[in-house]
Every structure is written in structure tokens, then in C-alpha cells.
Amino acid sequence: MTEKTLQEKMFLAAGDEKLFEQAKTYALQYMHGIYERRVFPEAQALAGLSQFDEDLPQNAQDGAEVLRQLHQYGSPATVATTAGRYFGMVTGSAYPPVLAVKWLADVWDQLAALTVTSPVTSKLEAVCEKWLLELFGLPSTCRAGFVSGTSMATFCGLAAARYHLLTRAGWDVNAQGLFGAPPFRVVVGAEAHSTVFKALTLLGLGKDRVELVPVDEQGRMDATRLPELDANTLLILQAGNVNSGSFDPLREIISRARAAGAWVHVDGAFGLWAAVSPQYQHLTDGFQDADSWSVDGHKTLNTPYDSGIVICKHPEDLVAALQISGSYILYGEQRDGMLYTPEMSRRNRAVELWATLKVLGREGIVNLVEGLCAHTQDFAAQMRARGFNIKNEVVFNQALVACDSPEQCSAMQQFLQQSGECWCGTARWRDTPVIRFSVCSWATTAADIERAVQAFVQAREACR
């Protein structure tokens, strides 16, 4: 096929509204049926994935047929994460109005690096930053970077800390690297999320050389066992334990860190949103005094996937740690988003974050957070009433269900998944296998909680 023929074919397809109507029809069919369908696909749907096992086509394919194949065999093999009975991986859903915005933004296909590559993205990032700082009660001088998830947000926050601490010691890590660099301490709780240790590894700080602080029975850092801090220390705290949902005693520990001159980063992937709720903001008391924070939009806030946020109180350190240069890079007077992220080529993910914040408003965000927590409390109460052992103090949106044996725990989780009634993950809590129940979706209703509890009852009877 010649280049001209290919261009003609693609331009014709792009202008054919029937393709987009076809995609819209399939998407609406999926969304209308998602709330009552199985959460995990049935065996027939999984077997249907073999339809994608084919050789790379030699010639261009018809767009309508590509869509048909994807919907016929792909849609049934998805996990219903956007419905109300998915309780795994601390993952939220997405609001239909925001999905509509995402469709439009995908058509824009903007490069979100600079103002000159996408003025609208620059503006919406600036607005999101302002709104987020207001919601969290953080200084207006902070800056936010919009990245893929909390893993990368944590990486960015710790990169800023590394730059700051080494610069203070007279070492330019950007120019001189880490070979021969003066050491600094990294202090972190023993129950820190694995992405924290991943970020430390990527930054060359080593996960095995950190000072681990013991935690209490709920996974909270034990402030009485915190080592003496100094100005040569990076301290990493947690707002929301991934298993128990517990929060480190932020005010007590951060006040000690401030007095010592240490840099404090708070990993608040899903838990930082407690700060916007009058009912739950006590859990994050004192977090505003930290230096950097990482948080996810696609968890508690329920944006579509790919919506991590790093916030830093010291923009000059964040920019210095992440900025790149080149004669072709045209920085401007307005916000250039790539200054606050490791990525240059990235999509305009802030559009969906902006739409979610605008659709919900402050009141809607508060109601969302408090509703998720209320459903979790309801689940725990119903489970206890039926003789189940809830292992954690349910302080936010996480509940841990213990079983009679490790074998029963594994069997129950598989039964739940295969039943299609709900989806839950597993974890180890104090060396005990547990089923982890995370309520993160706006779509979850009281009826969904009742169905999930009944599914647990059925799973217990089937696995005894």
C-alpha cells in the first residue's frame, strides 16, 4: 500500500461518523449493563479471548470490524470495576459525565508538556492545582504535578527531597550523581506501601538501608519508637494503610520533624481525601505541615485511571529534580506542566480531574468520601453480626476479613470471584491471610453491600 493510499484510507475512516456512532453504541451498551452483570467474567468470556490470538494482519483492516471484535470478545472479559460490587485494589470507578469528557479529550489528543503544545491543558492544570490546594488546605504557593498514579507521584516527591537534602549538603546530584554523594537518612514506617520502597530503589536510595520504624497493631507508625531526627533526614509517613486504612499520627510526628529540619513526605494515595471531610479530617490532622504529598485521583475521588498527583511545598526543588532542557523546549510565562513531572510526552490527564472536581464540587466530594466510609462501616457491622472476624479497626474505607485457615481464605476469595457477585483481594495481616474489602466506588449502594455480605456467607458455607 502506498503512503497516499494509506492516508486516504485513514482520512476517510476518521471522517466516517458511522465508526464513532458504532463505538458510542457499544460503550453505552456496556455502561447500561455494567451494574447488574457479573463482576468477574465467566469462563465462556475468558475463553473468547482466544479470538485475539492471530497473526499480525498484512494489510489495513476495516475499522468497523476492529470495533466489533473488541466489543464482542473484549467487553465480556472485563472486570466490572466501574460497578458497585468491585471491592479490590483500592480502586474507584468513573462518573459517566467525566467519561464523556474523556472521550472529547481523547479526540483532542493533546501533548500536555507545555503551554505552547496545549494551552487548554495548561489552564486546566492550573485550575486543578488551585482547587486541590483549597480542598486540602495547603499553601497557595505549593505546586502540583499530574502523573500516572501514586507510584510516580511518590517518586517525584522523594526526588524533590533528595535534591533538597543533597543541595543542603553542598552536593549537586543532577550534575554529580550519587557516586560519592554525602549520605542522608531515610526513615519510614514498617508498614509503608511497597511503592515507597520502589521509589527509593529507582532513586538510588536503596530499600535495605532505610531506618524502619515499628508500627502498632493497626499499622500506624509508633511515635514513641521514632528515632532522633535531624536536618539530614527524609521522613516518609502514611495517610491510609493499604490494608487496615489506618493513619500515622501525623501531627505528633511531623512537629518533631519540623523542629529537627527534616523533609517530610506523606503518602496519601487514597487516605489524603479524608482531609476534605469534616467527619474524617481528624485522621489527617497536621498533614499540612509536611513538605510533599502523593495522592491518587482514580482511587477515592473516582476519576478514570491514570490520575496521580504530587504536591510540593518547595516548587524550586521539585522543578530542579525533574526539569529537562533543550533548545527545542519552549517554556513560557504560563504553567508548563512538564516542569513538575518526569514525563514530557504525556496525555492531558488533568482534563478528567478537572471535570470530576467540577461535576462533584466540594459538597459532592465530601459526600463521596463519607459515603464510602459509611458503606465500609455497614459492611463490617453486617459481617460481625454473621460471625465473621473483622481484623482491623475500620477507620476509613478498608475492612479485613479473617477466615478459619489460610486454605479457607484462599478458597473463599476464589469462590467470591468465580461467583461474579463481588470481587475482593487478599493480603497478609500480622502473618494471617485475610480477604481485603475496599469500598472506593461512587456506584456502591446499600444493596450492593448486602449482596456482598450474602456472598461472603455463601462462600463460607461452600468452603467449610
The confidence band for 14, taking pLDDT boundaries of 50, 70 and 90, is low
Note the pLDDT of residue 9: 64
> What is the residue-wise DSSP string for 275-311?
GG-TTTGGGGTTGGGSSEEEEESTTTT-PPSS-EEEE
- Kindly report the pTM of this predicted structure: 0.95
Residues 150-195 have pLDDT tens digits of: 999 999 999 999 999 999 999 999 999 999 999 999 999 999 999 9
Q: What is the mean pLDDT of residues 199-207?
A: 95
Is 391 within 8 Å of 429 (Cβ atoms)? Answer: yes
The pair phi, psi for residue 270, each rounded to 5°, is -115, -25
Amino acid (1-letter code) at residue 56: L
A 10 A CB-CB count for 167 gives 16
Q: Which CATH class is domain 102-356?
A: alpha beta
Cα(328)–Cα(124) distance, rounded to whole angstroms?
Answer: 24
- Which H or E run includes 144? strand 143-147
Determine the pLDDT at residue 3. Answer: 56
Give the end-to-end CA distance of the chain in Å, rounded to a whole number. 63
> Which DSSP letter does residue 71 get?
I
Identify the CA nearest to 147 among candidates 293, 317, 361.
Answer: 293
Mean pLDDT of 259-264: 98
pLDDT for the residue numbered 324: 86
**Model confidence over 111-164: pLDDT tens digits?**
999 999 999 999 999 999 999 999 999 999 999 999 999 999 999 999 999 999
Distance CA 106, CA 185 (A): 43
Lowest mean pLDDT among 93-107, 318-332, 346-360: 318-332
Taking a C-beta distance cutoff of 8 angstroms, is the pair 402, 383 a contact?
A: no
| Owner of C-alpha cell 503551554 | 115
In angstroms, rounded to a whole number, what is the distance separating the alpha carbons of residues 92 and 195?
A: 19
User: Pairing relation of β-strands 423-429 and 432-438?
Assistant: antiparallel
**Is the pLDDT reported for residue 218 higher than 60?**
yes
- Over 60: is that where the pLDDT of 12 sits? no
Helices (H), 116-212: 119-136, 150-168, 173-176, 194-202
**All structural domains of the chain with their residue ranges:** 3-78, 102-356
C-alpha cell read off for 356: 470530576
pLDDT tens per residue across span 366-375: 999 999 999 9
Given a contact cutoff of 8 angstroms between Cβ atoms, the answer to whether 444 and 82 are in contact is no
pLDDT in tens, 377-421: 999 999 999 999 999 999 999 999 999 999 999 999 999 999 999
Question: What local confidence, expressed as pLDDT, does residue 41 receive?
Answer: 97
Dihedral class, residue 363 (left if φ above 0, else alpha if ψ from -120 to 50, else beta): alpha
